[in-house]
Amino acid sequence: MIFSDDFVFGGATAAYQIEGAATEGGRGKSIWDVFSHTEGRVVNGDTGDVAIDHYHRFKDDVALMAELGFKAYRYSVSWPRIQPDGTGKALEAGLDFYSRLTDELLGAGIDPWITLYHWDLPQALQDAGGWPNRDTAQRFADFSAIVHEHLGDRVKHWITLNEPFVSSFVGYAAGRHAPGLRDPQAALKSVHHLLLGHGLALQALRAQNVADIGITLNLYSVQAASDSAVDTDAARRVDGFQNRLFLDPVLKGRYPQDMLHDTAEFGWLPAVQEGDLELISAPIDLLGVNYYTKYLITGDPEHPDLVGERTGQLDSPYPGAAHAREVRHGKPLTDIGWEIDPDGLHDVLTRLKREYPAVPLVITENGAAFDDELSEDGAVHDQRRVDYVREHLAACARAIEDGVPLKGYFLWSVFDNFEWAEGYAKRFGAVHVDYQTQVRTPKDSALWYSRTMRSRSLDQ
């Protein structure tokens, strides 16, 4: 299988997961600083205070990526590094950091892709209500305009939001992510205000002549565990929350009727004001797809194959859908407990082609967590990650053959990093990081991916 010359191969990271330097340059606190410093929120009490110290080591990190043959890199801008309180004048030190990082990438022949929001809302904006507060959407658009004004001359690819599903439902309904609330109405209002923020940022960047801009959604292949009415209805709801609640407003200009009906009891509908959906559905140049796993769903709480540890995660984020549960479908698991199912990626991509207006697609994240260890020979033999990435790239190649306009693939992640509520306990990197010494060691998967990026072929 060969990928065409214009297919983009890259790697992705996010600011809070790698930068560290939490108080440098006047940086303010984000909801993740506060959350990770709250006892009991993150495994082992880990925080992003130091992370992989990328803020100080970015030159070496870029050099390593160049050596490995990366030609594209997706990174995010820390909002509180630019505006400590989420509003007002931008900090020179913050803008300067991203400017130097961007120049370093360009100098190394790596195309920069920026994500404007990867979950680190300034705490001051959370104190003012956070995403359930409509004003946050405008603050985000203002922030986006500042960043684009400074980097738009050099950065050509822009993503507004990363995974608004996670920001809203995991942060405001399940409470497993910052800000750690369990309030269905707040979560649903957040969905709308995040999407509105996307629409307003899009408008602001269009005014600055941005050419390539989109949004990244975490999409899942969702199937019913049986064709019983109870299971198919549970699967419909999960598909609604995970996929359609975000895809439909962005690509079709409306929320799905069944979801409006199911969630009306939470009283969030007045948040949707006249004109909002026009902003939200303004044309985008690319849709970013993050894919990790596929869900097999049952509505039967007594189902014998219920996924223990995922059930709590799955049912709590879905307001009013308490009887939608994930069951195992007999595939191998990664070490974060997610089932490995590359066919699900093919399902997601072909479904987009079938059911939505055409838009260029990019896999902005795909990858796996494994409990990697350094071997005596000094290497990390993560064959399971090699297999995971190879199989998912093969699914991409099949989707392209089936006519899906897929333009690129970004591996999550380049480096081991702060895995949110899992702290440093879960490793997603192609490059191993020793958190004591900050030594970077490319794993076998990094070397394999390097050969793949260079040969554009999976046959090696």
Peptide bond before 4: cis, by omega within 30 degrees of 0?
no
Q: Looking at beta carbons only, is 12 or 91 nearer to ligand BGC?
A: 12
Cα dihedral 59, 76, 91, 145, rounded to 10, equals: 130
Q: How many CB atoms lie within 10 A of CB 288?
A: 28
Residues of each annotated binding site for substrate: 17, 118, 162, 292, 412, 419-420
Helix (H, G, I), strand (E, B) or coil at 439: coil
C-alpha distance from residue 24 to each of 17, 135, 406 (Å): 16, 27, 39
Please say if 163 is a catalytic residue.
yes
412 scored as a contact of ligand BGC (CB under 6 A):
yes
Instruction: For 298, list phi and psi in degrees, rounded to 5.
Output: -125, 155
218 scored as a contact of ligand BGC (CB under 6 A):
yes
361-365 and 286-290 strand pairing: parallel
Mark the segment that binds ligand BGC (CB under 6 A) among 66-74, 163-171, 202-210, 384-392: 163-171
19 scored as a contact of ligand BGC (CB under 6 A):
no
Q: How far is the CB of 72 from ligand BGC (least distance, A)?
A: 17
Find the binder of ligand BGC among 147, 370, 419, 450 (CB under 6 A): 419
Question: What is the rounded distance in angstroms from the CA atom of residue 210 to the CA atom of residue 202?
Answer: 9
Q: Which of 135, 53, 146, 144 is nearest to 91 (CA)?
A: 146
Please say if 19 is a catalytic residue.
no
What's the one-letter identity of residue 96?
A: D
Q: How far is the CB of 209 from ligand BGC (least distance, A)?
A: 28
Q: Which of 365, 373, 391, 401 is catalytic?
A: 365
163 scored as a contact of ligand BGC (CB under 6 A):
yes
The footprint of ligand BGC on residues 234-273 (CB under 6 A) is none
Q: How far is the CB of 419 from ligand BGC (least distance, A)?
A: 5
DSSP 91: P
16 scored as a contact of ligand BGC (CB under 6 A):
no
Q: Is residue 341 within 8 Å of residue 360, measured between CB atoms?
A: no
420 scored as a contact of ligand BGC (CB under 6 A):
yes
Question: What is the rounded distance in angstroms from the CA atom of residue 81 to the CA atom of residue 98?
Answer: 10
Find the binder of ligand BGC among 123, 136, 144, 162 (CB under 6 A): 162
Mark the segment that binds ligand BGC (CB under 6 A) among 51-59, 160-168, 228-236, 376-384: 160-168
Helix (H, G, I), strand (E, B) or coil at 432: strand
Q: How far is the CB of 5 from ligand BGC (least distance, A)?
A: 28
Q: Looking at beta carbons only, is 94 or 317 nearer to ligand BGC?
A: 317
169 scored as a contact of ligand BGC (CB under 6 A):
no
Per-residue x/- track, 356-395, ligand BGC (CB under 6 A)? ---------x------------------------------
Residues of each annotated binding site: 17, 118, 162, 292, 412, 419-420
313 scored as a contact of ligand BGC (CB under 6 A):
yes
Q: How far is the CB of 60 from ligand BGC (least distance, A)?
A: 22
Q: Looking at beta carbons only, is 150 or 176 nearer to ligand BGC?
A: 176
116 scored as a contact of ligand BGC (CB under 6 A):
no
Q: Which of 163, 355, 376, 422 is catalytic?
A: 163
- 417-420's contacts with Cβ under 8 Å and 24+ in sequence apart are 417/13, 417/14, 417/17, 417/18, 417/51, 417/52, 418/16, 418/17, 418/18, 418/46, 418/47, 418/48, 418/51, 419/17, 419/336, 419/369, 420/17, 420/32, 420/42, 420/119, 420/177
Q: How far is the CB of 310 from ligand BGC (least distance, A)?
A: 8
Q: Is residue 198 within 8 Å of residue 280, measured between CB atoms?
A: yes
290 scored as a contact of ligand BGC (CB under 6 A):
yes
What's the one-letter identity of residue 140?
A: F
Cα dihedral across residues 145, 25, 413, 393: positive or negative: positive
DSSP 73: E
In DSSP terms, which residues pair with 74 in a beta bridge? Answer: 12, 113
Mark the segment that binds ligand BGC (CB under 6 A) among 267-275, 344-352, 370-378, 412-420: 412-420
Per-residue x/- track, 56-85, ligand BGC (CB under 6 A)? ------------------------------
Mark the segment that binds ligand BGC (CB under 6 A) among 28-36, 161-169, 398-406, 448-456: 161-169
Q: Which of 35, 56, 269, 333 is nearest to 167 (CA)?
A: 35
Find the binder of ligand BGC among 125, 170, 173, 188 (CB under 6 A): 170
292 scored as a contact of ligand BGC (CB under 6 A):
yes
Q: Looking at beta carbons only, is 36 or 290 nearer to ligand BGC?
A: 290
* Residues touching ligand BGC, count (CB under 6 A): 16
Q: Is residue 217 within 8 Å of residue 247, measured between CB atoms?
A: yes
Cβ-Cβ contacts under 8 Å for 213 (sequence gap 6 or more): 157, 158, 159, 160, 202, 205, 206, 284, 285, 286
Cβ-Cβ contacts under 8 Å for 331 (sequence gap 6 or more): 339, 340, 341
* Catalytic positions, written as ranges: 163, 365
Residues that bind ligand BGC (CB under 6 A): 14, 17, 162-163, 166, 170, 176, 218, 290, 292, 313, 365, 412, 419-420, 428
